[in-house]
């Protein structure tokens, strides 16, 4: 049951539309910054297959400039 959080940086002027795009995706929660062009994204896919599908969708988002991972939790801890 993977849980990840990211800092999502929108393309210039696309913060609102990025928030809308992210909120429309399953397993995504969005926390936009009030005073910066930055969005915190928390994902909680139920299993690895859904996680992979979600990753694919995130990569295709129009309004997204970059996504950097901030936190990851996976039941399968300890992979080296």
Partner 1 sequence: MKLDRRRFILSAAAGSAVATAGALFPGISFADWPKITGNSGVVSWQKAPCRFCGTGCGVLVGVVEGRAVAVKGDPNCSVNKGLCCMKGYHSVQALYGADRLTKAKIRKNGEMVEVPIAEALDLVAAKLKETRDKHGKNSVAIYGSGQWTIPDGYVASKLFKGCLGTNNVEANARLCMSSAVTGFMTTFGIDEPMGCYEDIDNANVFITWGNNMAEMHPVLFSRMLANRKRRTNVKIIDFATRTTRTSAAADKSILFKPQTDLAVANAICHEIIANDWVNWNFVGEHVSFHKGKTNIGYGTEDNFAFTDQDEAIGFEDYKKFLADYSPEKVEKISGVSAKDIKYMAALYGDPALKVTSFWCMGMNQHTRGTWINNLVYNIHLLVGKISTPGNSPFSLTGQPSACGTVREVGTLTHALPHGTVTDEHDRKMAAEIWGVPVENIDPKPTYHTVEMFRALDRGEIKFMWIQVTNPMVTLPNLKRYRNGAKKEGHFLVVSDVYPTPTTDVADVILPAAMWIEKEGLYGNSERRTQHFGQIVNPPGEAMSDTWQIIEVARRLGFEKQFPWSPENYIEKIWEEYRRFHAGPKHEMASYQVLSERSGVQWPFVNGKETRWRFNPKYDPACTNGKAFDFYGKKDNRAWIWARPYEPAAESPDSDYPFWLNTGRVIEHWHTGTMTRRIPVLHNAMPSSYVELNPEDAADLGVVNGEKVKIISRRGEVTIPAQINGRGVPPRGMVFVPFFDESYLINEVTLDAFCPISKQPDYKKCAVRLEKA
Among 20, 29, 52, 66, which residue interacts with partner 1 (rule: CB under 8 A)? Answer: 29
**Are 72 and 2 a contacting pair, CB within 8 Å?**
yes
- Shortest Å distance, C-beta 69 to partner 1: 6
Q: Measure the CA–CA gap between 60 and 53, rounded to whole angstroms.
A: 11
Among 32, 51, 63, 64, which residue interacts with partner 1 (rule: CB under 8 A)? Answer: 32
Instruction: Tell me which residues in 49-68 interact with partner 1 (CB under 8 A).
Output: 68
77 binds partner 1 (CB under 8 A): yes
| Residue 16, H or E segment | helix 15-24
């Amino acid at each position: 049951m993977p849980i990840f959080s990211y800092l999502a940086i929108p393309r210039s002027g696309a913060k609102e539309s990025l928030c809308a795009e992210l909120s429309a995706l399953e397993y995504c929660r969005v926390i936009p910054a009030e005073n910066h062009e930055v969005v915190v994204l928390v994902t909680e896919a139920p299993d690895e297959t859904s996680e992979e599908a979600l990753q694919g969708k995130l990569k295709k988002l129009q309004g997204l400039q970059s996504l950097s991972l901030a936190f990851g939790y996976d039941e399968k801890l300890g992979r080296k």
